[in-house]
Structure formats: C-alpha cells, structure tokens
Copies of this chain bind each other. A is one copy, B any other.
Amino acid sequence: MNIGLIGLGAMGRAMGANLLRAGYGLRVWNRSPERCEELVALGARKVDVPGDVASGPDGIVLTMVADDAALQAVVDGPGGLHDALGAGGLHVSMSTISPETAAALCAAHAARGVGYVAAPVFGRPDAAAAKKLFVLSAGDRTARERARPVLEAMGQTVIDLGDDPLHANVVKLGGNFMIMGMIEALAETLGLAEGYGVPRQTMVDVLTQTILPAPLVANYGRQIAEHAYSPARFRLALGLKDAELVLGAARTAKVPMPLAQLMQGRLLSAVARGRGELDWTGAALGVAEDAGRAPVKN
C-alpha cells in the first residue's frame, strides 16, 4: 500500500523510515528537496509538488510540517493536496497546529469528500526513530480506523480521542504546555537549590527518586541542571510558536492561562536574545539571569 508524506524535518524523516520498514510504499515531498535524499535511499520516491505524493484522489497523505502557514501552503497552494485528493482521499495531519486551522482544513476537505484525521504526536526525533512516539488520533470514525494501522507503524501507542479532530490538536497543545510549565518549574527550583548551595543535579535526582519519577523530568532536568541546551532536540523558536498556539486557543476558549503567558514571555525573551536555535529548555537561562547568575555553559 502506498502512502504520501509531506514534511521531512527530523521528525518526518524518522517517521517515514518506520513506514518504509513496515512495508509501505512511500512518496515524499519537502520544501527543501535535498531533505528527501535520506528516505529515497531507503526506497521512497521523491515528487515535485506536494499533491503528487498522493497515490490517487483516494490516497492517504500524511503531513508533518513546521506550522499552520506551512500546512496551509501544501494544502491549498499550487499543486497542493486540494488539487490532488478527492472523494475517498484521506489527509492525516500530524503537525502541531491551531484548532482553528484544523477546523478550517477539516471543513475544506469535507467539501471535497476528503477525510481528515488529526494525529499529532508526543516525542522528539529520537523517540520517532525508535518508534516510541505517542500518537493521538481524532476525526471521523471511518477515517480514523483507516489511519490507525499507518499510525501504529510509527509509534508505541495510538490514543483515540473521538470524532472531533480539534480534540487531538487541543490535547497536543495541552501536553506541550505541560512541558513548558515543567521547564519553568524546574528552572526556578534548580535556581533556588543552587542559591543555597545544593547541586542542581541533586535537586533533579531527588525529584525523580521521589515525587516525579518520569523520564521527561529526568531528561529535561538534566539538561537544565547542566545548562546544556545545544544541540536542540526541539528548537526554542518552535516552542515559542507552540506557546502562542496555546494562548491563541486559550483566547478562543476564553480561558486565562497565566502560566502559559509566563512561558510565552520567557521564550520570547530568549528569541530576542538570539537563542531561537537552542533547545527549548534554554528558556531556563532567563531564570538564571534574573538571579544575576551567568550559567557556566549554554
């Protein structure tokens, strides 16, 4: 069975490799075409315009692109999915995007008889490579069931969130927000510990040995303890984008989220200081600087 995949950043490449490994035929497109080579070497076929990844009007196309605008471009731009998919087609949208964009996309597809499944994921590129992603899935039942085996080829679990595709987008944003909150909480706690002479890593170790025995806390905690923010596993500039998606959704839902504002401010400040290419845990540098400390390395 053939599948199309649009968007070959670090995430998309790792996911595509797993699809090939699972026996799917794969056509790929990426804005910077040289990014296709890795998957082509594994058997994928590179095409010239986004819509050509579809095996036909009733094909399945996965998208994993940077943001709402990039997604919009590959859908309704020239040679886009709107031109290629028709009745029986299926768009599995895996990027972290706003619920509003998801709703608009879903409606535009429906008018053409194209199914839409929102399938954002938790996990960074190393998890994608190891087929350890957590995949969310929401949308019309038929479409969702059709997408399921494809999604299972890329992750350790597929979590079904029902018929409304926006739910997957909101849950994904909610999860990313939790991580942002964890970054701030860790940064402040480690700053406090350091202020009293407790080694930063000791504070992390106690947390993971007691109240927060989660790999995420251990991994993020270690990065923040060591101020080790490069190379980026998830770019800080993308984290700022996510904070803004969260606040946009909060605005729509009329839910004030002061912690999300705090994190948007931290990330915006980091971008203003030229740190957009660091890992997003680099937001913690702001906490250290506010305390008048120059971190040893960044």
A-side residues, CB < 8 A to B, are: 99, 122, 134, 136, 157, 159, 161, 164, 166-167, 170-171, 173-175, 177-179, 181-182, 184-186, 188-198, 202-203, 206-207, 209-214, 216-217, 244, 246, 249-262, 264-265, 268-269, 271-274, 286-287, 289-292
Contacts and interface: CB of A to CB of B under 8 A. Distances in A.
Contact of A272 (B189, B206, B264, B290): B290
A180 to B, nearest CB: 8
Contacts of A136: 206
Residue among A171, A210, A216 with max Cβ neighbours from chain B (10 Å) = A210
A177 to B, nearest CB: 6
Lowest 10 A-B CB distances belong to which pairs? A195-B253, A181-B185, A272-B292, A254-B272, A134-B210, A174-B189, A261-B261, A273-B292, A255-B291, A256-B265
Q: Report the copy number of this chain in the oligomer.
A: 4
Contacts of A182: 181, 185
A277 to B, nearest CB: 14
Contacts of A251: 244, 268
A45 to B, nearest CB: 33
Nearest to A244: B251
B206 A193 contact: no
B171 A198 contact: yes
If over half of A's interface residues share one DSSP class (helix, strand or loop), that class is named, otherwise mixed; here it is helix
A189 to B, nearest CB: 4
Contacts of A259: 181, 184-185, 188, 259, 262
A102 B190 CA distance: 20
B257 A192 contact: yes
A258 B173 CA distance: 22
A171 to B, nearest CB: 5
Given A256-B269, A268-B254, A178 B171 contact: no
19 contacts: A122-B210, A171-B203, A175-B206, A177-B189, A177-B192, A178-B185, A179-B211, A181-B181, A192-B246, A195-B252, A212-B214, A254-B271, A254-B272, A255-B290, A256-B290, A256-B291, A258-B265, A262-B262, A272-B290
